[in-house]
Structures are given as C-alpha cells and as structure tokens.
Amino acid sequence: MKYSDLLNITQEYGNPIYVYDAEKIISQFNRLTNAFNTVKKLKLNYAAKALSNLTILRLMNELGSGLDTVSIQEVKLGLLAGFKPESIIYTPNGVSLEEIEEAAALGVRINIDNLSILEQFGSKHPDIPVCVRINPHVMAGGNSNISVGHIDSKFGVSIHQIPHLLRIVELTNMTINGIHMHTGSDILDIDVFLYASEILFETAKNFKELEFIDFGSGFKVPYKDGDIETNIEELGEKLSKRFNEFCEEYGKELTLAFEPGKFLVSEAGYFLAKVNVVKQTTSTVFASVDSGFNHLIRPMLYGANHQIINISNPKGRERYYSVVGYICETDTFANNRRINEISEGDILCFKNAGAYCFTMASNYNSRYRPAEVLWYKDKPILIRERETFDDLIRNQIDVKDLFEAKNQKAAVK
C-alpha cells in the first residue's frame, strides 16, 4: 500500500483507524504453505485471537485455512464465517467443562490442556476424540512475556505428567487423535524449536490413533528495517524432513498442523492516528495522538516496538519525538524515536498493527473503539464501523428512577 492510499482512507473513514492489506495476508499464507510443500498433509489453522474480524476470518477460509480458537465465542465466529466444524480446533485454557462440552456439541475438534478436565471429559464423552496440549518445558520464543512453554506456565500438560495422562486415557477408554504444543511467540532459534519438536514426537509414540501433530506457531516477524525474523524456509526444510521420517516410523501419514496468527496478519496491519498536540518540555518533544493504549496496548503491555512513520511528511527532516496518547494514564507508544518532522494534524502510521492490536482494544476512558478497513484489490472496504456513544451505553441499564424515588422520599421528609 502507498502512504497516499492510507491518507485517503483517513479522509474517507476518519481516524484513528485500522487498515489491513489483504494481499500481504495472502502472500504470508502462501509463503508458509510453500515452506512445507514436501509434507503430504499440511493444515494451517489461523489463530483467530490475533485478529478476529469476521471479514478476515472469511478471507482465511477462502484461502483454505482452518481455524484455531480459544473461546466458545471464537468458535461461533468461525462457524458464522463459513468454516466447517471439522476445520476448527478449540484450544481453551482454564475454561469450564461446560464450555468444552458446548464446543464439542458444535462438532469442532477439541484440544485439552489439563489432566482434570481431560479425565472429566473422557469419563462423560469417551466417544469424542480429543487432542492433548503438551508443555515441553522449552522456551523457543525470544520474549519471556509471551512465552508459554516454560516449566511454570499455566498452559499444557507437563511432559513429566505423561504417565498420569496415559492412565486417564486407559481408564476412560477415550481416543487421543492429536498432540499439540505451543512454546510461545517470537521464535528465533530454530534448533531450539526442533528440540521441542523431538519431545513432541517422542510423546506421540504413546498414542496409536493420532491423526495430526500440531506444532503451534509463534513465528517472529520483523518490526523494523533490519529486524530479525524466523527463517520459515529453513524451518520448513528441517521440520518437514523430520516429520516425514516420523510418519514413516509411526506407520501412518499424519497431518502436520500449525496455528499461525501474527505471522499471517501482523505485517498486513496499519494503525493510523492524528497528531493532536506537539508539546515541547525542557528535554522532550511529545507528539500526542488521538489514541492511546485503549486502541493499541502492545507497546505498554509487552514493550512492543511498532515502527512509526509520519505519512503526512514522509520525507521531512528527522527529529526525536516521544509519541504519547490521550488516555489519562501513562500511554507512551515510543520514547525519543527518530520520526520525520511532525506538525499538529499530521497522520502517524503504526506498522505491524495486524495482530493482537484491535482484538485487545477497549473502551477505557469511555473512548470509542476505532473502525477497521480491508484494502482489497486496490480498494478500501469498511469491515467495522467506528463505535458511537450509543454503542458505549448499549448494554448498560440506567436505574435513574431508583435514585429519583429516593430523592422524592427525602424531599417529603
């Protein structure tokens, strides 16, 4: 996309606003598919939590993706978007047995990550096959805030609990049709990931009726020029070779599954915000935009570095700015960042805003969540309207009559 296209979108639909480039999503999907083209059965299950807009889900379905979901609401969104139940895998954490049963009744694949629920579900529904999420106790990600494979993680069944797991399977006579792991986001060291995969292969040998092995995802994408990223092609070559060898040892062609989210949509996303105020103090120049962590929380929550470009003045002289929001909290997007000279009214573009950005937005300070636009075949398509005051109070119940009655009673006295 060109900067002029993004500026035109703000003029047509306002700001702040999220924009997603469909062509980038498609190219990322094809890149990942091509990296594993020597595997006979490959299934990419898009992680809905990264960006759950219904139109994005429909695009993923059109590409032939499955869907990775973590809540019953995401399951229902997937079904509404046209995914077949068998193309949806439900991988919750810490939910009730009742929610898992509701998902199972819809016909989606079930992935269970703790022994308690596994035993309860297997005892009540031994005829429903389930996948089991294993914690290999390996951190393949580079960011400890978003790694879920460490020994104290709340996710997955510890590899040290495999004997207990096998006992539950034997006593309930349930079928395990898949084995799954997810070590966390921002995978940098492919050898570490392959080491975790070996643990998964070894665990898989305990189950004779597997249909698939799910290696999670967490592939790192570049967030700035020259940034490091997961070498998907190298991973594809090495893991495909080892997976094919395992299938031969296992005596059956299994499906190699991934659940990419950030890899597919992060670089496709742009967040656009207008500069309200340029404020200079004794040591800092602040550029305050019409947004805050209510719209984009990742820099404050994870320390994420989103490249910021002044698309209103992309060739201007660079100066140092701290980009901040309008929330009544510390909501700093960037500290002393070199950005082309900023004036009030300019539009700033935050790159890599496709994953875990809008989906984590809120109404804090009673602000409205922004609109979303899909850039498809060189045209902008509005896929979510900007919220209004009516949206803000839609589910609130005004009990003003209660207080009016109290005031009337006091007045009588």
User: How far is Cα 292 from Cα 274, in angstroms, rounded to an integer?
Assistant: 11
Among the listed residues 131, 328, 349, 357, the single catalytic one is 328
Is the bond leading into 163 cis (omega within 30 degrees of zero)? no
Q: Kindly report the number of other CB atoms within 10 A of residue 250's CB atom.
A: 16
The answer to whether 247 is a known catalytic residue is no
SS3 annotation, 337-350: EEEECCCCCCEEEE
Residue in the structure block whose two tokens are 């390996």 = 138
Q: Kindly report the number of other CB atoms within 10 A of residue 244's CB atom.
A: 16
Q: Which residues are catalytic?
A: 328
